[in-house]
Amino acid sequence: MQNFKYGTTTIDFSIEYKKDKKDVSLSVCLNEGVKLVAPEGIDFDKIKTILHKRAPWILKKKFELEEIVDSPTPKEYISGEKFGYLGRQYTLKVYKNEHLKKPELAFKQGRFIAEIPPKMADEERQTKLSQLFKDWYVTHGNKKVEERLKIYCPKMELEPSKVVLKEQQKRWGTCTKDGAIYLNWRIMMAPMSVVDYVIVHELAHLKYPNHSTDYWNFVRSILPDYNQRKEWLRINGPILLC
């Protein structure tokens, strides 16, 4: 790890050299920090020049990353844990039921109720209940998304070929060339205003496949405060875990 000074600020960075690289690329992320990928044999003075030129951008990105909420510890699926749905937190209660051969999950009277076989090992309980929670979010989320589509599709004069909640590791939503929209099922843990933003964001891609000025103006015409919703997702996205 190396560093350079920008004013009174010391910025750490790492460099990876590649034979086939023709120019210098720069990234700032949570896990790797500031990283350059550069051609082998590049003069180090050139690297320092690039770093100083891009320093304001680097500091801006570092500040944005510092705002992001840390991911919570993985769920253990035990009584007392809380699970989000549409921005509210609901407590999980786990009961042992000697008549069951496999776990069951339900939402009753404002809380999640899980029933499990009495001799189920901790690891198996976590695996099975994790899948049951995912299934619950997908089932209830699909119904909620259908309700919201009935609001926004007429307003935007757009109609997707289909909308599906599914597993997505890095995206909150995807719009394909054939007009299908895929939403990350975890978005159902966010407030309804944020769910609406993701829905509108992907619907708008049916008209504008990129993030052009026209695209964002279109999104703004539907959700004037879209930037606040987008910012909430950027900062709080890591906590939307199950």
Using one digit for the tens of pLDDT, what is the confidence trace for 160-212?
A: 999 999 998 778 999 999 999 999 999 999 999 999 999 999 999 999 999 99
Q: Where are the beta strands (DSSP E) in 52-210?
A: 82-85, 88-96, 104-108, 111-116, 162-166, 173-175, 180-184
Q: What is the CA 197 to chain-centroid distance, rounded?
A: 13
Give the global pTM. 0.74
Nearest Cα to Cα of residue 155 among 188, 93, 204, 110? 204
Question: Domain-by-domain residue ranges, the chain?
Answer: 2-67, 82-239
> Right CATH number for 82-239 from 3.40.190.290, 3.30.2010.10, 3.40.630.10, 3.30.1130.10?
3.30.2010.10
Task: For residue 198, report the phi and psi dihedrals to the nearest 5 degrees.
Answer: -65, -40
Stretch 128-150: mean pLDDT, rounded?
A: 96
Q: Which sign, positive or negative, has the C-alpha torsion 210, 215, 216, 220?
A: negative
Give yes or no for a contact between 81 and 90, defined as CB atoms under 8 angstroms apart. no
| Highest-scoring range by mean pLDDT, 10-19, 26-35, 173-182, 229-238 | 173-182
Give the pLDDT of residue 154.
97
Give yes or no for a contact between 56 and 158, defined as CB atoms under 8 angstroms apart. no
Strand order across the beta sheet in which 9-18 lies = 2-6, 9-18, 33-39, 25-29
Nearest Cα to Cα of residue 189 among 66, 90, 115? 90
Give the pLDDT of residue 150.
96
Q: For residue 228, what is the enclosing H or E element?
A: helix 226-236
Parallel, antiparallel or unpaired: strands 104-108 and 82-85: unpaired
Give the pLDDT of residue 89.
92
